[in-house]
């Protein structure tokens, strides 16, 4: 029996396809991003594109973060997962010793100057953690409320501190709550604007010494930062009755839904603001204001703290590394910018200028990454950290003077 030409062609196509991917493989990946739709969409899009390029499939298991922390110390002694989510909290020795060395990853594109393959602690300098999510901080604002109050922002420079204070007063005079806070379920968030303001005056060197207890809060630059934020508090920058009753997400909704004009937040939560900006076009982003002769004016904070690692006991180590290499390509960076809109390691030129992070990155072109992380860092002593959380809230609620703030903090630094 003669075969038709169409049958022969189809057989050839199938054979070529089979020869291109002689052994289809499916990697296993564990992550806790399941409750973050923007990152779920990114991962699915990245995996689909990776599979289209390589023929390698990846099956994701979304696991609660605490459950993931508990499972990994034992799971990584076995062949699954091939790839796992990691951040600096995943430092259990059994996890770290099971991670493959990523020092041989091929990075062909330009990367952010603050980024590197970051080794998780306890195992020397082995590069075992590919960080792809950057954590920074910014001031998000509701464009409609700014317009309602008649506020125009400078386009060619950062807002200065006196302009920021006047902005607070203008909003309040217009009957608008200037700052929406959501710190009820985040222990370090209330103090975020205070430590950023101190940083602008004091700069990275002094901030490093302050966190280490080598200088105290009576330092003139530190005091200047506190004095400025006291003016924000006295100008009724916060709704004090509401400031610490809302959780993080509800605090964000205060701004996106027009009940408050501004919010201070980390870029881990860009997507919550960016989604509103995409749908309504009413969210903008500002870098921190500059201060006269500020030692921190020329710096910004960014930490690369969340990403993925490879199980060295897995069956597909080479293929797992291949996926991580894909995450360091412009194709993956474009997907991250599209879905997540937060800092990404690559600085390739074709990422577009449509996201909130693009706005912030443009503002920071004249700055450099701070050599010292400070917003989410702990003070050297746990007692000092607990005091910081307490006095930050008391200060914002108007319960403490500058002198009392300094005295309380210094009592725990000693």
Same structural domain for residues 118 and 145?
no
Query: Considering the domain boundaries, does residue 2 fall inside one?
Result: no
Does residue 356 sit within a domain? Answer: no
Can you give the pLDDT at residue 196? 95
Q: Which pLDDT value is given to residue 155?
A: 82
147 and 295: one domain? yes
Q: What is the pLDDT of residues 198-214, one digit of tens each?
A: 999 999 999 999 999 99
In this structure, are residues 274 and 133 in contact, taking their beta carbons and an 8 Å threshold? no
Asked if residue 234 and residue 336 are part of one domain, the reply reads no
* 15 is a domain residue: no
One domain, residues 56 and 147: no
State the pTM of this model.
0.84
- Judge contact between 55 and 20, C-beta under 8 A: yes
The number of distinct structural domains making up the chain is 2
Express each pLDDT in 15-70 by its tens digit: 444 445 556 789 999 999 998 888 999 999 999 999 999 999 999 999 999 999 99
Please state, in angstroms and as integers, the Cα–Cα distance from residue 13 to each residue in 6, 8, 16, 17, following that order. 11, 9, 5, 6
Buried b (16+ CB within 10 A) or exposed e, 75-96: bbeeebbbbbbbbeebebeebb
Asked if 161 and 278 sit in the same domain, the reply is: yes
178 found inside a domain? yes
Q: Examine the pLDDT at 312 and tell me if it is beyond 60.
A: yes
Question: For residue 353, is it within any domain?
Answer: no
Note down the domain range covering 293.
Answer: 137-300+369-413
> Would residue 248 count as lying in a domain?
yes
pLDDT at 125 over 80: no
State whether 264 and 384 are in the same domain.
yes
Look at 186 and 354; give whichever has higher pLDDT.
186
| Residue 249 sits in the same domain as residue 385 | yes
Domain check: are 195 and 144 in the same one? Answer: yes
| Interval 371-402: pLDDT, tens | 888 887 788 888 899 999 999 999 999 999 99
More confident residue, 336 or 199: 199
Q: What is the mean pLDDT of residues 174-189?
A: 90
Tokens found for residue 365: 């072109």
pLDDT reading at 413 higher than 60: yes
Domain co-membership, 114 together with 208: no
Quick one: pLDDT at residue 350?
A: 56
Q: Flag whether 69 is in a domain.
A: yes
d(CA 206, CA 201): 9
Tokens representing residue 107 in the block: 């990075």
Give 241 or 73, the one with higher predicted confidence. Answer: 73
CATH code for the domain of 73: 3.40.190.10
294, 312: one domain = no
Residue 318 in any domain: the answer is yes
Q: Are 142 and 126 found together in one domain?
A: no
Q: Is the peptide bond before 193 cis (omega within 30 degrees of 0)?
A: no
Same domain, residue pair 391 and 274: yes
The pairing of beta strand 26-31 with beta strand 57-62:
parallel
The Cα angle at residue 215 between residues 120 and 392, in degrees rounded to 5: 75
């Amino acid at each position: 029996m003669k075969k038709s030409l169409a049958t022969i062609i189809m057989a050839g196509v199938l054979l070529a396809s089979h020869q291109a991917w002689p052994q289809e493989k499916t990697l296993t990946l564990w992550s806790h991003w399941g409750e973050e739709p923007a990152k779920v969409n990114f991962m699915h899009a990245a995996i689909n594109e990776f599979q289209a390029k390589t023929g390698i499939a990846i099956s994701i298991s979304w696991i609660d973060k605490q459950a993931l922390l508990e499972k990994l110390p034992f799971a990584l002694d076995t062949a699954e997962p091939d790839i796992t989510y990691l951040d600096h909290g995943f430092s259990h020795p059994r996890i770290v010793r099971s991670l493959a060395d990523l020092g041989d990853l091929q990075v062909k594109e330009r990367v952010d100057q603050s980024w590197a393959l970051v080794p998780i602690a306890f195992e020397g300098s082995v590069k075992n953690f590919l960080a792809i999510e950057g954590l920074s901080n910014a001031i998000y604002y509701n464009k409609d409320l700014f317009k309602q109050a008649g506020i125009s922002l400078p386009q060619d420079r950062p807002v200065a501190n006196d302009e920021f204070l006047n902005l607070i007063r203008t909003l309040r005079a217009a009957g608008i709550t200037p700052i929406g806070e959501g710190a009820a379920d985040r222990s370090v968030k209330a103090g975020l604007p205070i430590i950023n303001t101190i940083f602008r005056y004091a700069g990275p060197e002094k901030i490093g010494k302050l966190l280490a207890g080598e200088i105290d809060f009576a330092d003139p630059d530190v005091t200047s930062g506190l004095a400025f934020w006291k003016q924000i508090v006295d100008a009724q920058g916060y709704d004090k009755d509401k400031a610490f009753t809302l959780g993080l997400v509800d605090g964000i909704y205060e701004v996106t839904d027009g009940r408050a004009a501004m919010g201070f937040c980390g870029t881990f939560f860009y997507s919550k603001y960016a989604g509103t900006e995409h749908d309504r076009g009413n969210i903008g982003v500002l870098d921190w204001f500059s201060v006269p002769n500020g030692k921190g004016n020329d710096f910004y904070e960014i930490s690369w703290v969340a990403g993925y690692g490879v199980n060295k006991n897995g069956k597909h180590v080479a293929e797992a590394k291949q996926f991580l290499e894909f995450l360091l390509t412009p194709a993956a960076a474009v997907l991250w910018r599209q879905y997540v809109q937060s800092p990404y390691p690559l600085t390739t030129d074709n990422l577009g200028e449509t996201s909130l992070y693009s706005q912030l990155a443009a503002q920071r072109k004249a700055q450099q990454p701070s050599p010292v992380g400070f917003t989410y860092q702990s003070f050297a002593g746990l007692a000092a950290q607990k005091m910081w959380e307490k006095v930050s809230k008391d200060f914002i609620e108007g319960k403490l003077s500058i002198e009392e703030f300094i005295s309380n903090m210094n009592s725990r630094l000693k």
